Amino acid sequence: MPVKIPVMFLEGRKCIYCGAWKPYRLADRRVKCKTCRRYYSLKKLKNDLSILFYFALELSANRTAKELGLSYKTIRNKYMFFREKISKHLEDNFQKLSGELEIDETYFGGKRKGKRGRGAFNKVVVLGILERNGRVYTKVVPNVKAETLMQQN
Ligand SMILES: [Zn+2]
């Protein structure tokens, strides 16, 4: 898998939540951390990272589902989760943006027949902000009316 995640996380030797070197295997093959007491499945972790990889490649949820042999619903939910996290990160870091900004909107979602662009159903509108130094921030917005865009600032 091309995602570069240190192997100690994938092998369950280091906790993904607190970074402690103490997780141990449970009978159901999940990993539990002695320090923060949280547990998780290594299989799920690997799956999630694969989904994230395809998400970053901008593959549609449908295509990713086929590639990984998982259900469309699983992938779609995970994609929404990633978008929300990106949105949250953008919100939290908005003040740190500096310099000249370019704002654009784009539409994420699987290919479908019929209406495209504005007004298309099932599309998530992502507000992208390109900083002149090359960093790009995105924000999921409920719709693209001017007021909505202004509220993001
Ligand atoms: Zn931990």
Distance in angstroms between the alpha carbons of the first and the last residue of the chain? 38
Query: Per residue in 35-67, pLDDT tens?
Result: 999 989 988 888 888 888 888 888 899 999 999
CA angle 112, 115, 118 (to 5 degrees): 110
How remote is the CA of residue 12 from the centroid of ligand 1, in Å?
11
Give the contacts of 4 (CB within 8 A, at least 6 positions apart): none
Look up tokens 């280091």; give the residue. 14
Query: Quick check: pTM over 0.75?
Result: no
Residue closest to 66 by CA, chosen among 57, 55, 75:
75
Integer Cα distance of 133 and 84 in angstroms: 24
How remote is the CA of residue 9 from the centroid of ligand 1, in Å?
11
How remote is the CA of residue 85 from the centroid of ligand 1, in Å?
21
The residue length of the chain stands at 153
- Per cent of the chain over pLDDT 70 is 58
How remote is the CA of residue 21 from the centroid of ligand 1, in Å?
8
How remote is the CA of residue 2 from the centroid of ligand 1, in Å?
25
Query: Per residue in 5-30, pLDDT tens?
Result: 677 888 888 898 888 888 888 888 79
Four-residue CA torsion sign, 131, 133, 134, 137:
negative
How remote is the CA of residue 18 from the centroid of ligand 1, in Å?
4
How remote is the CA of residue 14 from the centroid of ligand 1, in Å?
8
What is the band of 106 on the pLDDT scale with cuts at 50, 70, 90?
low
> Chain-wide mean pLDDT for the chain?
73
- Per cent of the chain over pLDDT 90 is 18
Query: Per residue in 107-147, pLDDT tens?
Result: 555 555 555 444 444 445 555 555 555 566 565 555 545 55
Give the tokens for residue 25: 């295997």
